[in-house]
Amino acid sequence: MKFQLRYGLHSIATGFRTLSWTCGLLCAVAAYGQESMRSFAVDTPSVHDPVMAFENGTYHLYSTGNGLSHYTSHDMKHWTGCRQGAITDIPQWTHDSVPGFTQHVWAPDIIQFNGRWYLSYACSTFGKNTSAIGLLSKSSLNSDEPWHDEGCILASRGGRDNWNAIDPNVIVAQDGTPWLTFGSFWDGIQLVRLDSSLHVASGERPFTIARRYAPTHPNVADNPTSDEAGPNAIEAPFIYFHRGWYYLFVSWDYCCQGMKSTYRIAVGRSRQIMGPYLDSHGHDMLKGGGDILFEGDKKEFEAVGHCAVYTVKGKPMLICHGYSIARGGTPVLVKRNLKFNAHGLSLAK
């Protein structure tokens, strides 16, 4: 049986299965076969900022956590979680770049590029933009091969940069060029061209593709040397290509507060990866535009956010975390099918 899994613009053949992806992970990781395991509840692993990859019949789910959380499944319903994080030895450069950084690694992304898996991840401290995005690689997710540290993709500094180097997402454009989108608060969502090693291409600098400013507050863009995040509550970008359009998914408002979280997912689209990304009313996301796609229903989830999008068995699927009301605000894995139409897209269970 042919199985297709698409993500962004990446496709590979594995036996009778065709994959296509765009997502990332994290720093020096322990071999998969050496990790101790335990079983988790059906379809409800506790995760934050989840991303997924598929290789030879196994789904790999990675998320924010101490050493990076890692789960595996053969059906996306029954998940087995690692007793210890995937990362056992964070490279020293992360601590040198981000004083105060611990083993708590943020917001992974994973992509298969030129036949090799690449994991990107964020190192930071809460509420500050002295941050860095790192990169790891290995040839197979199912092997005992250790992750190889590929160093730092880029870093931000408080008082120097008006952007925050966290929440990475790598996508390969239709012309084969890899790009990195990232960002949280400050001047919003950034995009920068990468080279074939998935590091920032020579002479390139990040530029803003989406903002969300509170009208009653001074724009943080007016004060680029500030160490404070300001009111621009937008982060967690993810770009997905579908039928001639690049879709930019972002999270608005606030995560990480359990039942007080206000996260929600917004989206816009563009014919070009560099933008402009417009919502269904023609408003540019660079000027605060965006359509609300998914938010807490106050019945099952208080809030939802930090999504990734893939095509699974021919159908677009969004995954994210939701703050479960039944579990007192614990973040859990959420999956929703996506439906695209001439004017945008909608969610279906």
Q: Is 222 annotated as a binding residue?
A: no
R_g of the chain computed on alpha carbons: 18
Q: Is 185 annotated as a binding residue?
A: yes
DSSP annotation of 22 reads -
Amino acid at 213: Y
* Whether residue 295 lies in the annotated active site: no
Q: Is 131 annotated as a binding residue?
A: no
In degrees, rounded to 5, the angle at the alpha carbon of residue 191 between the alpha carbons of residues 190 and 197 is 130
Question: What are the Cα distances from residue 177, in Å, to 6, 168, 189, 210, 274?
Answer: 17, 16, 19, 21, 12
Q: Is 167 annotated as a binding residue?
A: yes
Of 132, 101, 149, 276, nearest in space to 200 by CA:
132
* 132 phi-psi bin (left φ>0, alpha ψ -120 to 50, beta other): beta
DSSP 271-328: SSTT---B-TTS-BGGGT--EEEEE--SSSEEEEEEEEEEEETTEEEEEEEEEETTTT
Which one is catalytic: 235, 279, 291, 295?
Answer: 235
* Whether residue 302 lies in the annotated active site: no
If 0-12 CB within 10 Å is exposed, 13-18 middle and 19+ buried, where does residue 192 land? Answer: middle
Q: Is 186 annotated as a binding residue?
A: yes
Of 255, 194, 196, 191, nearest in space to 229 by CA:
255
Strand order, beta sheet including 37-39: 37-39, 80-82, 69-73, 58-63, 51-55
Q: Is 49 annotated as a binding residue?
A: yes
Show which residues are catalytic: 49, 235
Which residues make up each annotated binding site? 49, 127, 164-167, 184-186
Which residues make up each annotated binding site for substrate? 49, 127, 164-167, 184-186
